[in-house]
Structure formats: C-alpha cells, structure tokens
Chains A and B, each alone.
Chain A
Amino acid sequence: MIPLLLRDIRLSVRAGGGALIGVLFFMTVVAVIPFGVGPDLNLLSRIGPAILWIGALLAALLGLDRLFQAEREDGSLDLLLMQETPLVLTVLVKCLAHWIATGLPLVIAAPLLGLFMNMDEVAIGATTLTLLAGTPAITFIGAAGAAIAVALPRGGLLVSILVLPLAIPVLIFGVSAVHAAIEDPAPFLPPFLILVAINLFFAVIGPVAAAAALRLSSD
C-alpha cells in the first residue's frame, strides 16, 4: 500500500498535478471575500474562521473528481479492482494520498490567510486545528461522490453538488469549535470531538461506499 501512497503523492506534485491548484484556489477565494464585505477589520476577524472553513471546503472539493477519473482514463482502475488487496483499503490509501497532497497544504496555508482576516492567535490556532481534523473527512466522503461520478462524462461539477450537502456537518462542527475557542463561555472540546468523530465515521463509510460504487460502475 505504501507504493500506491507514494505514487499518488508523486503524481499530484508532478507537473500538471493538482496539489498547487487547490491552495491557490483557497487563497483566491479567501482574498476575494473582503472585496465583497469591505475591509472592516473587526468584521473580517469576526467572520474570518467561517470564511477560511468555506474556502477550504470548496478547495478540498476541487480536485476530488480526478481521484478515480484519472485512474479510469488510463486503465489503471481495472488493475486496482482486480487485486487481492481489499478495494476498501486501496480507496482509503488513495484518499490519504489525496489529502496529503491537497488537504494538508490547505491546513498549512490557513494561518497565513488568518492573518489576512485579522484573526487573533487563538482563532488562527483553533481554525488550523479544526481544519486539520476536518479536511480528511471531506476527502473521505468526497471519495464516495467521486466514485459514483467516475463513469460520467464531465463529472467534475457533479461531484461538488453530490458531496457538498454531505459535508455540511463537518462545516458546522468545525466552525462552531472555532467560535467556542474564541468566545469564552462555550467549551471548545465537545464540538471538536464531534468533528473528530465525524472524521472517523467518514473514514469508514466513505471508502466502503466508494469501493462499492467502483465495483458496480465497472464496465
């Protein structure tokens, strides 16, 4: 499984890979928000965590459609399906590679964008931490959508439409954990632990659903 992980990471950082695009999209989306709401620093620092989360959510969805589509186009998907290794495990590893290449850079870029949003240290730390815990969940559940849309021509947009509603809980608990960290009376841990639980739950249900969809859509 390590070779598959390394291959996928290598593919996404190679020329033409999607690793850079996701972060760039994240930066652009977040940078455009102030042009819409105005450069009021107090307002920006209040909505900053939510903006970062929405931006990261959209950026994480961006490259997902290529997760299995690229494998299908060059015939690799057939060979991955035939192997003795459980398909669920293959999908899980592909998700991990995808997250390392596209999700982790978002987490790393988040503190920088937090500065743009005039967020204080606690808010930046909390946002980064929740993104670290939450973005894998988006990838896992997104893999199911990507597997369902793999056989469709131009599945890219469809993946986003399929996955966004499923990712709403991640967004809710991610942002509310950050707000709990900033505003004293509310405790940080309960929403954060729910977020982690969602992550673990999706880590199971996403690959299982994706593997089933891939088997069924093979033709």
Chain B
Amino acid sequence: MRLLAEGLSAKRGEDLIFRDVSFGIDAGEALIVKGANGSGKSTLLRVLAGLLPAVSGTARLLAAAHPVERLGEACHYLGHRNAMKRELTVEENLVFWKAFYGDLHGGAGIGVDAAAAAVGLGGILHLPFGYLSAGQQRRMAMARLLVAWRPVWILDEPTAALDVAAEAMFAGLVTNHLAQGGIAIAATHQPLGLEGARELWMTGFAGAEQGVW
C-alpha cells in the first residue's frame, strides 16, 4: 500500500495556500507535516481527507487491500474538534462511531472498552462526554481512531491539549498503528516522539502571481 500525492495545490477562499506538493508514503511510515502558522498544514490535511477540493493534483491510495474511490474513505481524520456529542455518554459516542464507520478490509477495530483503556480512560465510559476535561475529551477522540480500522490516519495538531504522559501514550498508539501496516500523516509543532518519521516542510505560498482574477 502506498499513499501518493502528486502536484497538489489548494485554495482557501481566494488565496492559493500551497502549490505543487508531492510526496509518497509507504505502509508503516509516518509523515510529519511541519511549518509556520498559516503555511497550509491544516489545508493540506483537509485536501487529503477530501474535505477541500484540490485546485490541481491528485492524492491516491495505491495497492490497497480495499480499493477506495476517494482517499477520504480510507482515512481517519482527527481535526481540531473532537466530533463527539457532549450530551451523549462516552460509550454512546464511541459505539456510534464504531457502528457508523465499520471496518475496512485489512484490519479490525478494537472494542469500545479496549479503546478507552488504550487511551488510559477505562472506567468512565458511562459518563456524559461533557463531564470530561479538555485533555480527556481529546484522548477519547483518539479512542475513536481505534474502534474502526482505517489504514490512513490524518492527524491535525493531535496533541495540542495533552500533557506529556498523554503525548507518550499517543505516540504509542501511532507506532502501533504503523506496525500494523498503517500510514499516519500528522501536522504538529510538538515532537510526536515517532522514530524514523519523515518530515514535510510547508513553506507557505502567496499566490498573487497566479492571477486568477
């Protein structure tokens, strides 16, 4: 399995954020997207997830166990927001996402209990999600990545609200995912503690010369 991005360009509003970004990642590899604020890290990740249309270029998953039409279908996306409902209990949230996602070929998600234990929060599944602190909510959002199998993890500032111990825990989760033949792409300022991860530097691009108008 190989994730191949060729000549990606993307816009936010009328501004061209980046141009001609290309890279390839093989199974078991991680890519850390780095760069200053506003250099287009989040935009790149949203383009990969299929949430923003690319102005040019393509991103595809080659030789996957389960061929997908759009790359986004094979991805877990952990954005700035946790995508969990405050009014529902943690268990209801995770059970819903597990059922709604379903597993792709080539792997299987773990149970809701096991996922909560894996992020160090077993035993509070019965509580409403809104009762949890910001860090706990973030960790439960990470548990969402575990309950259903997706080969590609797209992580946008995954450890922003976490303490050092939780960061180490998350690095363990990602390493484990890579060991299972997954791919991880993370945009972050903090060192994630992943060994042998490749880096992509976003320089930012002002698209004035492009002259669309």
**Chains A and B directly touch (beta carbon < 8 Å):** yes
Q: Which residues of A contact B (CB under 8 A)?
A: 2-4, 6-7, 10-11, 14-17, 73-76, 78-79, 81-84, 218-219
Selecting from B27-35, B76-84, B189-197, the interface stretch reads: B76-84
Q: Ordered nearest first, which 8 A-B pairs have the shortest CB separation?
A: A75-B81, A3-B99, A82-B72, A75-B83, A14-B87, A76-B83, A84-B73, A7-B96
Query: When each residue 85-123 of chain B gets 1 if its CB lies under 8 Å from chain A and 0 otherwise, what string results?
Result: 111100010011101110000000000000000000000
With the chains together, A81 CA to B68 CA distance in Å?
15
**Residue with the greatest number of chain B CB neighbours at <10 A, chosen from A16, A76, A82:** A82
Task: List the A side residues contacting B88 at CB < 8 Å.
Answer: 7, 10-11, 14
The reply to whether B95 and A3 form a contact with Cβ atoms under 8 Å apart is: yes
Known pairs A82-B72, A83-B73, A218-B51 / 9 extra A-B pairs, C-beta < 8 Å = A4-B100, A7-B88, A14-B87, A14-B88, A74-B82, A75-B81, A78-B51, A79-B97, A82-B77
Task: List the A side residues contacting B84 at CB < 8 Å.
Answer: 74, 76
**Residue with the greatest number of chain A CB neighbours at <10 A, chosen from B50, B72, B77, B85:** B85
The reply to whether A11 and B83 form a contact with Cβ atoms under 8 Å apart is: no
The reply to whether A219 and B52 form a contact with Cβ atoms under 8 Å apart is: yes
CB distance from A30 to the nearest CB of B (A): 29
CB distance from A8 to the nearest CB of B (A): 10
Q: Known contacts A4-B100, A10-B92, A219-B52: does B83 contact A79 (CB below 8 Å)?
A: yes
Q: Which residues of B contact A (CB under 8 A)?
A: 12, 49-52, 68-69, 72-73, 75, 77, 79-88, 92, 95-97, 99-101
Question: What are 27 contact pairs spanning A and B, CB under 8 A?
Answer: A2-B99, A3-B95, A3-B99, A6-B96, A7-B88, A7-B92, A10-B88, A11-B85, A14-B87, A15-B87, A74-B82, A74-B84, A74-B86, A75-B79, A75-B80, A75-B81, A75-B83, A76-B83, A76-B84, A78-B77, A78-B79, A79-B97, A82-B49, A83-B100, A84-B68, A84-B69, A219-B52
The reply to whether B51 and A4 form a contact with Cβ atoms under 8 Å apart is: no
Question: Which partner residue on chain B sits nearest A73 by CB separation?
Answer: B81
With the chains together, A42 CA to B81 CA distance in Å?
56
Task: List the B side residues contacting A83 at CB < 8 Å.
Answer: 73, 100-101
